[in-house]
Each structure stands twice: as C-alpha cells, then as structure tokens.
C-alpha cells in the first residue's frame, strides 16, 4: 500500500520536474535567444509590471539586455516572448509585416479592446479599416474639416481654464479632446446626458489596461473590464438609436453604418463598434498624456518657451487679423513646434512595447524565433539609447534641427513603424500644435503641483499636473486695440 503511494508521489515529482524543465527550456529547431522564462504560467510578468520612473529605459529591459544582450527571451502573461532592443532587427520586423510577422497582442489585451477590433485585423481587412479611419483623420480631412473644430474646442477650453485660474492639465486636456472627438465620431455629447458618463468608463479602463490580467474584484484588470463593459453599452445604445433614426448627422458613425449596409463591405456592426471603442480611447488618452508631458517640459525649459513664443508670435503678426483661426499653412510652418512634439513623444514612450506574432520560424542574428511566439519591440530602448541620441535623457528639441520631422525611422518609432504606422499620428500632432500655439501666445502658466510620472508600464501621472493659468495682459490689450482699429475702419468706410 505505502509502496504504491510512494511510487505515485515519485512519479508526480518526476512529472512536475520534467514539466518545469520543459517550461524553462522551450523546444526550438535552432538556437533560442538567451533569457529566462520565469515561473510557470506567471513567467516574468510581475517584474515587467513593476512601476518605475520616466527618465530611463525600463529596469526590466535594461537589466536583461546587460545580462543577455539586445535580444532575449521571456514569458509575459502566459505568452512566450522574444524582446528586441536592436534597431536594425526592429526595422526588419516592421518591414516583414504580413510575411513573417503579424501584428499581435496578448490575449488579455484583446479581451479589453475587442476580438474584432482594428488591432486584430490583417491584410486586406486591416487596409480597408485603415482607409475607413482616414476618412476621419487623413491630412486632407484634418485640413478641411477637423482643424476648425479642434481650434474652436482648444480656444474654448483654454479660456475656461484661465477663468478657473487652476487646472490639472492631464484631466483638462483629456476632457477637451474627448468632448469634441466623441461628438465628431458618434454624435455623443456627455453634457446632454449626465446619466451616461462615457469618459468616466474610459478612465477606469485606462487604470487597468496594462496590468496583470487577474480578473477578480479589487484588481485593476477587473476594473478595466468593467469600464469596457459600461463604455461598450453606451456605444451599443448609440448604434441602436442611430439605426432607428431617419435624419442626417454628419459624423463618422453615419459613414460607418452606411458602410455596413453595403454588399461588398468587410465591415460588420461588431467590427464597427470595436473600431469606435478603440478610436475613442486612443484619441483622448494618448494625446492628453503627450500634451501634459509637453507642458511640463516647456515649463521646465525657459529657452524652449522663448523659442516657441517667437515662432507663434511671428505667425500671428503675419496674419491680416490677429484673432483669426489657425490655418493649415500656419500649422505646417511650425518647424520648432514639431521639433518640440517629436522630442516630447521620444521621451514619453507612451507605448511600452509593440508586439508582433511570428508566423513561421525566423532566423535573426544566429537565433531562431519559433512560430507562434511573440516578438516585442521596445521603442524606449532605441529612443533613450546614447548610441542613437546624444544625452538621450535630456529634453532637447534642437537635436531635431535639419532632420525629417514627419516620418518614422530605425531610431524613431513613437508612432509605430512599417505599414502599421499610427493612422492617427497627424491628428495627434495637429492637436498638440494647436494647444501649444494658444498656450504660448495667449496665456501665462506656472506648475503648482504634481508632474510626477510613473510607468506601470504605461505612462501614468499619479498626481496630475496642476498649473496656475491666466490670460496674458498684453494679448488682451492687443486684442482690444485690434478690435478698436477694426471698428474705426468700419465706421470710416461707412462715410465713404
């Protein structure tokens, strides 16, 4: 009896030992990159999600590159992953999209964004959806349709900030972008329906978006899924209400529903809803984070503020009317502003990792990455590398002087790379440029508190960035003089 029990225990120990050994030493028809798979199932997820400060390459990455080199293996949230910090390899990965690599995310990430969302689509479907989004945020549509809306919303909210005297830039800019973009996207106005706080649901969603995928009450991931559920219900209700409506609404949702009805379309209602969900999140959350960081950097670097003010005052002086809205030509002329934006997003590294799935075994620098594994490209490892940027942790917009400001490269992938270059990049840069224009020409501000930055591994402002803000006296005087001059001219013309 006892002999049989001891035999079973021995067999169990052998089986567990073999299982643990196989986990730590995955099979491969070649040589795997060096590294550690961590604990079974858990892998090295806990270390990956450990909070750290903004101004450096994530400790999880830097420790392993020092030990294993620029390419190493690990396991995150149950997925076998090869991490690449090599810019040449990263560039090659992006160029092999839809060949050896496919855009991919962890299963937990897909559960949050939706199994039919843009991030899951490949080939012709992805190209089709990308073209749909360009109907909203292409340079042509930004120039002809969205620029006036963005300009008006920015002026309105900044004026409101100045009236209050103080504002949390992260909260205020997030609210500003969400308000006008949700209306342009799906005709949603939160002020008209206080019982449906769609943006609040996205706030809960953000807190757990990049967290350990443990779906039990009390965890950030559970709160994230609940936020998605509430937000998705509002979106679903808007779809149903719109389908029953007969009128024209002149928004992106009307365009989507017309596409769903076409016979030759790839678009289903489910894909359309997931698309709206992703666009609502990406538009206000990522841009508000970059905008907040830009305000912090500008406030900390007086020379940058002076140079920006010089550039934007010159734009105003060249106008026929000082109070005119920004034009597309003025936006394109903002060379130093674009240098500031590039430097901000280089240091921001809002996306901690860009994932691709390996379709077939791939040979890279003597190593084999097996089919089915994920590859994670780490933008921060390139953006903060002293081999690519002099004094990489320093905010220095002048480093972009004479360089291409509107495209990705091996050493700059803030907006992704390859055919997956962020379709909303132009939208994000335009919003930041409009915001900077009015901040430096019409307002004075000082940072009062906050500004602490933590990564978990996404970019978080735990205390916000609170500023004291007021209108510039010289702008108010100048505007008054301009109006008086115009009134005098109009009166004189009436007597001629």
Within 8 A by CB and 6+ apart from 225, the residues are 111, 112, 208, 215
Rounded-to-integer distance, Cα 196 and Cα 409, Å: 42
* Pair 359, 352: CB distance under 8 Å: no
Rounded-to-integer distance, Cα 54 and Cα 68, Å: 23
Is 422 marked within a binding site? yes
Within 8 A by CB and 6+ apart from 200, the residues are none
Q: What is the DSSP letter of 79?
A: E
* Pair 70, 83: CB distance under 8 Å: no
Q: What is the DSSP string of 60-110?
A: HHHHHHHHH-SEEEEEETTEEEEEE--HHHHHHHHHTBTTTEEE---HHHH
CB atoms within 10 A of CB 362: 21
Please give the structure tokens belonging to residue 229.
Answer: 């559920």
Q: Which one, of 328, 347, 278, lies nearest residue 53 by Cα? A: 347
Rounded-to-integer distance, Cα 36 and Cα 34, Å: 7
* Pair 274, 231: CB distance under 8 Å: no
CB atoms within 10 A of CB 307: 19
Rounded-to-integer distance, Cα 211 and Cα 46, Å: 9
Task: State in Å, rounded, how far the first CA of the chain is from the last one.
Answer: 118
User: Mapping DSSP to helix (H, G, I), strand (E, B) and coil, where does residue 8 land?
Assistant: helix
For the annotated binding site for heme, the residues are 422
For the annotated binding site, the residues are 422
């Amino acid at each position: 009896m006892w002999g049989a029990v001891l035999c079973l225990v021995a067999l169990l120990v052998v089986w567990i030992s073999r299982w643990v050994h196989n986990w730590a030493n995955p099979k491969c028809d070649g040589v795997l990159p060096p590294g550690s798979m961590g604990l079974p199932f858990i892998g090295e997820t806990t270390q990956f999600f450990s909070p750290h400060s903004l101004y450096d390459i994530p400790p999880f990455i830097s420790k392993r590159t020092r030990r294993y080199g620029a390419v190493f293996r690990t396991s995150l949230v149950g997925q076998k992953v090869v991490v690449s910090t090599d810019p040449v390899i990263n560039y090659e990965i992006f160029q092999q999209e839809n060949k050896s690599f496919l855009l991919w995310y962890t299963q937990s990430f897909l559960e949050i964004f939706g199994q039919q969302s843009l991030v899951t689509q490949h080939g012709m479907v992805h190209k089709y959806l990308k073209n749909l989004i360009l109907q909203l945020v292409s340079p042509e549509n930004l120039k002809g349709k969205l620029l006036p809306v963005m300009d008006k919303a920015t002026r309105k909210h900044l004026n409101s900030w100045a009236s209050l005297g103080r504002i949390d830039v992260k909260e205020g800019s997030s609210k500003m972008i969400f308000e006008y973009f949700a209306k342009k996207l799906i005709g949603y106005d939160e002020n008209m329906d206080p019982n449906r706080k769609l943006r609040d649901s996205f706030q809960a969603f953000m807190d757990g978006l990049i967290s350990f995928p443990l779906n039990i009450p009390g965890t950030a991931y559970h709160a994230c899924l609940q936020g998605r559920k509430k937000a998705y219900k509002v979106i679903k209700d808007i779809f149903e209400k719109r389908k029953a409506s007969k009128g024209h609404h002149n928004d992106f949702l009307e365009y989507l529903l017309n596409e769903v009805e076409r016979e030759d379309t790839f678009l289903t209602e489910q894909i359309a809803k997931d698309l709206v969900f992703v666009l609502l999140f990406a538009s206000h959350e990522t841009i508000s984070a970059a905008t907040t960081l830009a305000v912090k950097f500008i406030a900390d670097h007086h020379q940058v503020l002076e140079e920006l003010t010089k550039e934007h005052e010159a734009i105003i002086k060249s106008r026929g009317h000082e109070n005119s809205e920004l034009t597309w030509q003025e936006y394109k002329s903002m060379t130093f502003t674009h240098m500031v934006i590039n430097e901000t997003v280089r240091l921001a590294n809002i996306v901690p990792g860009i994932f691709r799935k390996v379709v077939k075994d791939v040979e890279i620098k003597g190593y084999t990455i097996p089919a089915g594994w994920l590859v994670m490209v780490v933008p921060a490892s390139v953006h903060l590398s002293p081999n690519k940027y002099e004094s990489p942790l320093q905010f220095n917009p002048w480093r972009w002087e004479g360089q291409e400001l509107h495209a990705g490269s091996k050493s700059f992938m803030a907006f992704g790379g390859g055919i997956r270059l962020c379709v909303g990049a132009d939208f994000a840069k335009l919003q930041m440029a409009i915001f900077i224009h009015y901040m430096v020409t019409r307002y004075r501000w000082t940072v009062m508190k906050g500004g602490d930055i933590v990564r978990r591994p996404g970019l978080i402002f735990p205390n916000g960035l609170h500023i004291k803000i007021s209108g510039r006296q010289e702008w108010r005087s100048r505007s008054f003089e301009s109006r008086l001059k115009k009134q005098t001219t109009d009166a004189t013309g009436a007597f001629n």
